[in-house]
Structure 1
Amino acid sequence: MTLQQLKYLVTVAECGSITAAAEKLYISQPSLSTSIHSLEKEMGVTAFIRSKKGITITHEGEQLLSYARMLLEQADNMKDHFGKGKKRTPKFSVSCQHYSFAVNAYVDLIRHFDSDQYSFILRETQTGEIIDDVANGRSEIGILYLSPDNEAILSKMIKNKDLQFIELFVADPHVFLSADHPLAHKDIIEIDDLIPYPYLVYEQGEQNSFYFSEELIPMLDFPKNIQVRDRATLFNLLIGLHGFTVCSGVIDQKLNGDNIIARPLHFSSQMRIGCIVRKHTILSPYASFYQEALKKHLSI
């Protein structure tokens, strides 16, 4: 097994076909196929099922890809650490829930490591995908929250995937609503105050249960519910329908605009916002910088 073979494996998975991967890697298709077959034979697995339409990744292949991405990432981190003076292309990926501070920290990261070439990825995605992305090596860091209600389930998933949770910030729940909302004048909002208004939540796909919710309060507590996939849609509905959502209270006026405000919610639970990373790995300089940038924006 070589790092080159692992790179070939990951590239084939990303491209979805041997032909496209060979073109991207500037090698012949037969050479790439031989290299992949050799790796599969050495590992005793079938990573891909080949067909005229391309390739399909097997369950064993997904596991092999997870290790391959981790090893390639660690090799890059080692080069960054010991290869002083050598110019490298910055590369870093994060998967997170929909937090403005995560975006602001990412802006700091890109500005700090700006160069003629770089490859940065920021995925605002569903909670289950965040855990899978980090476990499978698609992202080096994930950002989510734990609470007394979801901690048992999510902590078990995190542990079973050989990840660890690093707490960054403990937040009291707040209500996000428009500046002209009928409740905007209240210093503290009660649960009963919210019942007449649409509750906006981020849709979680197949794992659409309270344990994976980005919001602290279950949808069942309110008669009107709207599920969305992106931040812009949620904020437009907050303004257009006098809707609301429940989150950390960390808000950025430059990113979210003056029309969105946060008000404390009278609710006993708290949100422990933090990072998930793989255990027993060395973080890249980008991941280390990003963690510090998160702490800075969470302390403002």
Structure 2
Amino acid sequence: MKLQQLRYALVISKYGSFNKAAKKLFISQPTLSTAIKELEKEINISIFERTTKGVRPSREGIEFLGYARQIIEQTELLEERYINFKPSVRQFSISTQHYAFVVNAFVDLIKNYQLDQYEFNLRETKTYEIIDDVRNLRSEIGILYKNQFNEKVLNKLFKDYNLEFHELFTVKPYVFISKSNPLAKKEIIKLEELEDYPCLSFEQGEYNSFYFSEEILSTISHKKSINVNDRATLFNLLIGINGYTISTGIISEDLNGPNIIAVPIESEETITVGWINQKNIKLTQLAIEYINILENITRKYVQGL
């Protein structure tokens, strides 16, 4: 078993494709395939299984890649300290629902570390893709919410995919609306008061199930509804057409501007936001630091609600 083979396997896992990994590694695909076949033969497991969308780690492969990542991380630290005297490229990936506080923490992580070289990935994406990214080690952690409605479905997926959910905070739901919205001066908003306003939601693509909706109360029908892909578009529509969306109540004026406010909604529901990771795989130091920053930021926001 060679360090180079471990690095190859980690790059394949990251890109979900032998072809993309070979291009990233500047080697031919046959060379890469041969190296992985030799590694699999030596350790007597299949690290990857092929799907219609590319490749993903097998159940045994996920465990193997977890160990491989720890070995490569420690090797790079040794090389940095005793051989190269140069900082290695640090890598860290997150998949998340559309939360501004996740971006706030990401910014603070980069500022705190002041790395000369790094390759970070922050994916604001669909709920199922967050789970799939962490399952297949494309992201080290994923950030999403659970509530009474979706937790049975999500917990089953977490169990099937060997994932753990760690709670960050639990809050009552709020509506995000423009400051100019006629409802903006209310201390609390009732659901029926929202009927004439456009409801804005993040679309979930292929896995467009109520259980994967990023907004709670997803089974309620609306006279006007708009699905969007990104946070900037959603906030523009909140202002432009007096739309609304239901979320945690945590909003960042630095990222979203001063024209959006959060107002409590009359509901017995709660939202529990947390992060997921692969069980029995040690988190990297960057992941640990990021989670510490995220916990501190969300604690301050929640106390302010």
Report the TM-score range of the alignment, normalised by the length of the smaller protein.
0.7 to 0.9
Q: CA deviation at 1:133?
A: 0.7
Q: d(CA) in 2 for partners of 1:23 and 1:290? A: 30
Match status 1:171 vs 2:171:
yes
The one-letter code sitting in structure 2 at the alignment partner of 1:151 is E
Contact 1:142 1:277 in 2 (8 A): yes
The match for 2:189 is: 189
2:233 alignment partner, SS class: helix
Q: CA deviation at 1:36?
A: 3.1
Q: CA deviation at 1:219?
A: 5.0
Q: CA deviation at 1:162?
A: 0.7
- Inter-CA distance 62–246: structure 2 relative to 1 (3 Å threshold): same
Q: With structure 1 as the length reference, what TM-score do the two structures score?
A: 0.87
- Inter-CA distance 24–227: structure 2 relative to 1 (3 Å threshold): closer
The one-letter code sitting in structure 2 at the alignment partner of 1:93 is S
- Inter-CA distance 156–24: structure 2 relative to 1 (3 Å threshold): closer
| Map 1:15-94 → 2, pairs under 5 A | 16=17, 21-22=21-22, 24-27=24-27, 31-42=31-42, 43=44, 45=46, 57=54, 66-67=62-63, 69-79=65-75, 85=81, 87-94=87-94
Q: d(CA) in 2 for partners of 1:57 and 1:76? A: 24
Contact 1:219 1:225 in 2 (8 A): no
- Inter-CA distance 30–215: structure 2 relative to 1 (3 Å threshold): closer
- Inter-CA distance 222–166: structure 2 relative to 1 (3 Å threshold): same
The match for 1:52 is: none
Q: d(CA) in 2 for partners of 1:107 and 1:282? A: 23
Contact 1:201 1:227 in 2 (8 A): yes
1:220 alignment partner, SS class: coil
Q: With structure 2 as the length reference, what TM-score do the two structures score?
A: 0.85
Consecutive unaligned residues of structure 1, counting only runs of 5 or more, are 50-54
The match for 2:276 is: 276
Q: CA deviation at 1:205?
A: 1.1
Bigger mean CA deviation after superposition, 207-216 or 95-104: 207-216
Q: d(CA) in 1 for partners of 2:228 and 2:59? A: 31
Contact 2:3 2:72 in 1 (8 A): no
1:186 alignment partner, SS class: coil
Contact 1:168 1:272 in 2 (8 A): yes
Q: Deviations over 1:166-211 (max 9, x none)?
A: 1011111000011101111111000000011111000111211111
The match for 1:180 is: 180
- Inter-CA distance 76–11: structure 2 relative to 1 (3 Å threshold): closer
- Inter-CA distance 66–98: structure 2 relative to 1 (3 Å threshold): same
Contact 2:63 2:281 in 1 (8 A): no
Q: CA RMSD in A?
A: 2.8
Q: d(CA) in 2 for partners of 1:221 and 1:168? A: 30
Identity %: 44
1:112 alignment partner, SS class: helix
